[in-house]
Amino acid sequence: NPKDLLARSENQDVDYSPEVLTVKNVCQIPMMKEMLKRFQVAVSVAEDTAHPKLVFSQDGRFVKNGASASSWPLFSSAWSYFSGWRNSQKNAPFVGRFQHLPCVLGKNIFTSGKHYWEVESRDGLEIAVGVCREDVMGLVDASEMCPHGGIWALSWGSAGSQPLTGSSGSPTKQEPALHRVGVFLDFGARDISFYSAVDGAHLHTFSCPVSRLRPFFWLSPLASLVIPAVTGGK
């Protein structure tokens, strides 16, 4: 009986001591992360959509904005497992690709269901991730990277994070600083949400249309990002 259950719950003593509350909060965070990872999908970039200044690792999961791989300083040993680098300018014609903004789309095309992926930044330079319609490659100005332009994305860097809405605003500072963001696209709810992949904290949610959507990535000058390998989910 729901009334009996409610009465029992109201009569129970609740321990509000700081020690117990701390444990409860810590326990809630892994549950959120595990829920999201149930819907995790493997995402990689589609080089044929990329601005020519972007370069990639062999597996399409590491992206850097730079003139050419040879002009950069040596990478740390953390990146030594990448066996080779490709410049998109040498591998794909200028058809259906970004020519004005340093962006690239994911290979994935989503039309239904729930999908989750993570993106990591390790240099503190600003990047933006989210989803977009497939017809955004002709955008010429960064102010068009917003829902009105067919892009639903969150940018973040050392200054903090902010949703790309087309209007200027101050980034929200996160403590600790964001290094990995989770993107959760839910066609049933018609929205896309962003989370800190470290602690599961919610960052922002956009309403988005039910249509063909693809992962979207933007990188500021010299910035790099990595799409971590899927460790669970589908």
Q: What Cα–Cα distance (Å) separates residue 175 from each residue in 90, 157, 178?
A: 41, 12, 8
Residues 147 and 139 sit within 8 Å (Cβ to Cβ): no
User: Mind listing the pLDDT tens digit for each residue in 128-184?
Assistant: 999 999 889 888 888 899 999 999 999 999 989 999 998 877 788 877 788 999 999
Q: Mean of the pLDDT values across residues 189-217?
A: 92
Greater confidence (190 vs 24) lies with 190
Percentage of residues of the chain with pLDDT beyond 90: 49
Spatial neighbors of 6 by CB under 8 A, at least 6 apart, are none
Q: Which residues of 4-31 are buried (b: 16+ CB within 10 A; e: fewer)?
A: eeeeeeeeeeeeeeeeeeeeeeeeeeee
- Fold exhibited by the domain 32-86+99-226: Jelly Rolls (2.60.120)
Q: What share of the chain is helix, strand, coil (3-state, %, to 5)?
A: 20, 30, 50
Residue 18: the pLDDT is 37
Distance CA 55, CA 75 (A): 14
Residue 210: the pLDDT is 76
The distance from CA 70 to its chain's CA centroid, rounded to whole angstroms, is 28
User: Mind listing the pLDDT tens digit for each residue in 15-40?
Assistant: 333 333 333 333 345 577 888 889 99
Identity (one letter) of the amino acid at 213? L
Residue 209: the pLDDT is 84
Residue 90: the pLDDT is 46
- Confidence tier at 81 by pLDDT (50, 70, 90): very low
Would you say residue 228 has pLDDT above 80? yes
Residue 107: the pLDDT is 94
Beta-sheet pairing, 45-46 with 180-186: unpaired
Would you say residue 9 has pLDDT above 50? no
User: Mind listing the pLDDT tens digit for each residue in 37-65?
Assistant: 899 999 999 999 999 999 999 888 999 99
Would you say residue 217 has pLDDT above 60? yes
Percentage of residues of the chain with pLDDT beyond 70: 74
Would you say residue 214 has pLDDT above 90? yes
Would you say residue 12 has pLDDT above 60? no
- Confidence tier at 96 by pLDDT (50, 70, 90): confident
Residue 26: the pLDDT is 36
- Confidence tier at 232 by pLDDT (50, 70, 90): low
